[in-house]
A and B are shown apart, each in its own frame.
Chain A
Amino acid sequence: MKPGKPTSPETQSNPPIHSETSSNQALFFKAKSSEALLDDTLQQALKKAQGGFIEKRSQAIADVENFDSYKQQAQLVKNHTLDHLAYYLTQFEENVTKNGGHVHWASTPEQLNNIILHICERRDAKSVTKGKSMISEEANLNAALEAAGIDVTETDLGEYIIQLAKEPPSHIIVPAIHKTRQQVEALFRETHDLGERDLDNIAALVDEARLQLRQKFLDADVGITGANMLIADTGSAMVVTNEGNGDLTATLPKVHIVTASIEKVVPDLESASAILRVLARSATGQPITSYTSLFSGPSGIEDLDGPDEFHVILLDNQRSQMLGSPFEDMLKCIKCGACLNHCPVYSAVGGHAYGWVYPGPMGSVLTPLMTGLKQSSDLPNASTFCGRCEEVCPMGIPLPELLRQLRNKEHEDHLTSWKTRFSLKGFMWGIQHPRVFHWITKTLRMILANSVLTRLLEKHVLTSWYSSKELPKNYSKGTFMEQYQQDSKQKKSKQKKS
């Protein structure tokens, strides 16, 4: 896509950071997942995380009378909003302006970065603090800010850890889930001026980060946060956190910029309440997070703190294309992460194998839609179709069905390998020709009944699949058809006798 224009010489000198640079990694799912399975430290971290989330969520759901009805209400809100998206976006824009804020529109991630750079340059910003924002991850905003010589600090503890480690997030709500305590300690020792301080427990690590980041909050010129929802009726951005980092980011610097995607808008505060009720329960198993905050503009004359400028940047990045398409349901996603926590594939390989900012089942749908199926053709296949993701999704998104559709599309677009296409074609032809089909099944059964031949097949022909598996042993008297025919003959002869 074309970068935003017109651009100033200054912004041109900072080449737009293409999201493709990071999305390319989605091509390597197979290789990366094999690596992940052999990484002991990662496996240790994943094992620790896995059970906790599932248990906490199910407890939170058991604690309320009727979670299904909560889900229904939340889905009602999203369905209605998506049906009238243009109306609510217009209303949101009007009301932000009424509150004294500014709304900006970005079709592409590069445009979002350019708008932020423009605001930062105009305010001569030297340092930026960030609350967690997946939209800024889509845009690779940190790289763009650094390229412009601006010091950028992630303030969500998990995001801060992976920023120090120079890694992308591996989970949408706990970005450093793949790091063990020891790894975090090593990172802090490497990057902080620690002196004699002890960091041998989690409390000490959290305190150390608090100390370092407190000064960053106070010094920052611009604060950038994401938004969990945008309220059309009041022109507000709703930010949900547990640490309070979003609030410090939105309150201390002179400029507050909210980055959000267009489908985050909801009609009013009553609608937002319905979604809040399912969000934290599905994500961390809390009835509500420590802080749910509503930001509605720059500070007023009476206020003693807060920013003097308030901006909301709305990013499209292919979402308007999903609207009205077979993938529209994906726009209902509230980024709670429940599908990641319950996915057997994610739990085994972690988030980095997925190669882009969104991992797990929701990422396997979003990444191909946003970065192109060609760049991420393994992802729709990174699922066992066990259906747990759909079951736990508070918005009822049919994730397996969407993945199935992507697999179809992959086949139609000739993105699958010649081996797969050839085998499928052969199979189609075979099942349409009964004689051939019966001959093949007869031959196969004979091979499988013979242990020498079976081993030959395992060790020398189908090596890539059977190096870690065994073919089934077959002790049957014949193929299904052979046994059926024999059975019918016996019955007939019995009937004749009687």
Chain B
Amino acid sequence: MSINLNRFNRVNRKKIFNRIERTKKSAIPQAPKRPPLLHPQFDISALTEIFLSKLSASSSTYQSVDCLSLVPQLVLQYAEKYNTNKTLVTNLDPFLNSDEPPWDWPNALSLSTPPATGNEAIGLSYASTAIAETGSLVLSASKQNPTTVNFLTDHHIIILNEQDIVPNIESMWKRLSLSAGNMPRAINIITGPSRTADIEQTIQLGAHGPRSLHLLLLTQPSPY
């Protein structure tokens, strides 16, 4: 290609910055101090309750589990409830069960390894944290949690440790402790199934992503 994108960018960048700096908003060498911001506060003792009520308001469902080994059976039950094909895509097995016996998957489920291709009916992921303020589950892209599982499956099941629920959006970022150079490629804050209201402002679930979202809330502290 003969277009020199580097030079093109250099020239334009300079032009744009010249125009910005013509105003009082000049580039200062040291970091400006952002004014402190208020965060909404929530009753810490009722976090799970607040979280679950917001989660339900987003058209998601949930059930509590006290033992990880129950997960395969619950996934099957969920698949049967939706009368869907029984293909499951997940990469959680080695991750969640490193100290425990591996999950005993029922024969009725056919397992597939990520990335998701669009042919799997069910996806199973793990949320590293969740926000009580909004009822959201937070998934970071990783080998265990490939992003395609969150969006290409028809029904998405997410496991969350109860102790990972934080009060507000800001405390969620803090919990993830992110920094440039060390960012997961994608972080998805998921609040309910995919939806659209683009036709006559009527809400319809399952626009492009999952048609349903189900939470398995792990009430016993997980050893991982």
Contact = CB atoms under 8 A, between A and B. Distances in A.
Contacts of A270: 37, 170, 173
A228 to B, nearest CB: 12
Contacts, number: 288
Contact of A6 (B8, B118, B206): B8
B220 interface: no
Nearest to A90: B27
Contact of A87 (B32, B37, B200, B202): B32
A161 B210 CA distance: 21
Interface residues of B, number: 86
Interface string B46-84: 000000001000100000000000000000000000000
B147 A305 contact: yes
A58 interface: no
A333 interface: no
Contacts of A350: none
B55 to A, nearest CB: 11
A33 interface: no
B45 interface: no
B181 A206 contact: no
Contacts of A202: 199-200, 202, 204
A262 B4 contact: no
Contact of B19 (A271, A291, A316): A316
A69 B38 contact: yes
Q: Report, as a range, how many residues of chain A touch the other chain.
A: 35 or more
Q: Is the interface of B mostly helix, strand, loop or mixed?
A: loop
B25 A214 contact: no
A325 to B, nearest CB: 8
A121 interface: yes
A114 B8 CA distance: 10
Contacts of B32: 80, 83-84, 87
Contacts of B185: 295-300, 303, 306
A302 B182 CA distance: 13
A195 interface: no
B198 A8 contact: no
Nearest to B10: A105
Interface of A: 4-11, 45, 48-49, 52-53, 64-65, 69-70, 73, 76-77, 80, 82-87, 89-91, 94-95, 98-99, 103-107, 111, 114-115, 118, 121-122, 155-158, 161, 174-177, 179-181, 184, 202-203, 205-207, 209-210, 213-214, 217-218, 233-236, 242-245, 247-248, 250-252, 262, 267-271, 273-274, 276-277, 284, 287-300, 302-306, 314, 316, 320-321, 323-324
10 contacts: A53-B201, A89-B20, A118-B1, A161-B198, A175-B198, A179-B199, A284-B197, A287-B135, A295-B185, A296-B183
Given A45-B200, A121-B1, A181-B200, 12 more contacts: A80-B34, A115-B5, A234-B179, A242-B207, A243-B207, A269-B170, A270-B170, A294-B186, A295-B186, A303-B141, A306-B141, A314-B16
Interface of B: 1-5, 7-9, 12-13, 15-17, 19-28, 31-32, 34-35, 37-40, 54, 58, 91, 114-118, 133-136, 141-143, 146-148, 150-152, 168-170, 173, 178-181, 183-202, 204, 206-210
